[in-house]
């Protein structure tokens, strides 16, 4: 089943190099061809996370990716890479949501002009890329619809929404605060198997037993109210109320 990917940058830019092309240029990297897809993002285009997940790596490879970010989607076991960046706004080990700004584009590393190199690969449950002998070091064609389903065009951030509402205009008059959220890391991503300790049987019984009914604070006073079993003390207010009612019944005229 195809994995889901959302917007990866703000704007609408075409493709300058498809997956698998220019085999001669990529032979030196031990690959059959281009291991991702290049988008014609101009310098300083805002890049956003296409999936939620962990910032698996922020690195710099002068002969290849230049400044790059890898995001691991721990739900879909999908790793994505954004390369040749100008700057990075996230750090390794950070957990982010889709739509989180990760940096801006440029042409750092092995690149002849500003663009975004985007790659995608399947991983195991630890975020390690699979199929590394597929001729592309485990990367697959991000535009192969059977591998990735792109949900794009839906505004992922407030800024994107504002820009779409004001095409061709940078948000000068509208002061927008982009709120980003971080998520908690999942608890069960670990090298060792986690052992969950079952609660004591007594604890379960206590949990399942309904709470004892709480006595009403106010209401019709009864003998039960007077003789409180728990404290064995008398409720004098209740006794007074009952005696008053009794006296009214016996001596209706007197009480008036």
Cα–Cα nearest to 52, from 3, 105, 86: 3
Query: Least distance in Å: CB of 167 to Zn ion?
Result: 28
Beta strands in 74-115 (DSSP E): 78-83, 85-88, 95-96, 101-105
Place of tokens 């975004």: 116
Q: How many Å apart are CA 189 and CA 255, to the nearest integer?
A: 77
Query: Least distance in Å: CB of 101 to Zn ion?
Result: 21
Query: Least distance in Å: CB of 117 to Zn ion?
Result: 3
Q: Which is nearer to Zn ion, 38 or 141 (CB)?
A: 38
Residues of this chain that interact with Zn ion (CB under 5 A) are 36, 38, 117
Q: Which is nearer to Zn ion, 39 or 72 (CB)?
A: 39
Query: Least distance in Å: CB of 181 to Zn ion?
Result: 30
Q: Which is nearer to Zn ion, 37 or 238 (CB)?
A: 37
Q: Which is nearer to Zn ion, 67 or 238 (CB)?
A: 67
Q: How many Å apart are CA 49 and CA 73, to the nearest integer?
A: 10
Bridge partner residues of 95 (DSSP): 54
Q: How many Å apart are CA 220 and CA 209, to the nearest integer?
A: 28
Q: Which is nearer to Zn ion, 36 or 142 (CB)?
A: 36
Query: Least distance in Å: CB of 64 to Zn ion?
Result: 10
Query: Least distance in Å: CB of 1 to Zn ion?
Result: 26
Q: Which is nearer to Zn ion, 68 or 95 (CB)?
A: 68
- Quick one: DSSP state of residue 210? P
Query: Least distance in Å: CB of 196 to Zn ion?
Result: 44
Q: Which is nearer to Zn ion, 117 or 163 (CB)?
A: 117
**In terms of residues, how long is the chain?**
256
Cα–Cα nearest to 106, from 169, 193, 42, 54: 42
DSSP string of 177-208, one letter each residue? PPP--B-PPPTT--SSPP-PPPPPHHHHHHHH
Q: Give long-range contacts, CB 8 A cutoff, 24+ apart: 68-71.
A: 68/109, 69/102, 69/103, 71/96, 71/102
CB 110 within 8 A of CB 91: no
């Amino acid at each position: 089943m195809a994995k889901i990917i959302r917007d990866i940058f703000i704007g609408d830019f075409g493709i300058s190099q498809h997956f698998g092309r220019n085999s001669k240029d990529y032979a030196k990297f031990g690959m059959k061809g281009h291991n991702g897809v290049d988008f014609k993002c101009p310098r300083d285009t805002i890049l956003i996370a296409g999936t939620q997940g962990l910032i698996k790596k922020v690195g710099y490879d002068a002969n290849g990716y230049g400044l790059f970010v890898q995001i691991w989607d721990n739900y879909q076991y999908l790793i994505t890479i954004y390369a040749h960046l100008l700057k990075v706004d996230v750090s390794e080990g950070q957990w982010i949501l889709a739509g989180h700004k990760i940096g801006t584009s440029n042409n750092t590393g092995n690149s002849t002009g500003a663009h975004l190199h985007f790659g995608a690969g399947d991983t195991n449950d630890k975020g390690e890329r699979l199929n590394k002998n597929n001729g592309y070091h485990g990367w697959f064609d991000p535009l192969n619809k059977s591998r990735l389903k792109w949900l794009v065009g839906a505004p992922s951030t407030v800024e994107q929404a504002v820009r779409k509402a004001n095409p061709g205009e940078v948000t000068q008059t509208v002061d927008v605060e982009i709120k980003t959220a971080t998520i908690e890391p999942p608890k069960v991503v670990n090298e060792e198997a986690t052992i969950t300790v079952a609660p004591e049987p007594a604890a379960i019984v206590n949990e399942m037993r309904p709470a004892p009914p709480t006595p009403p604070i106010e209401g019709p006073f009864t003998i039960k109210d007077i003789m409180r079993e728990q404290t064995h003390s008398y409720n004098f207010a209740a006794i007074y109320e009952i005696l008053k009612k009794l006296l009214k019944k016996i001596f209706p005229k007197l009480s008036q």
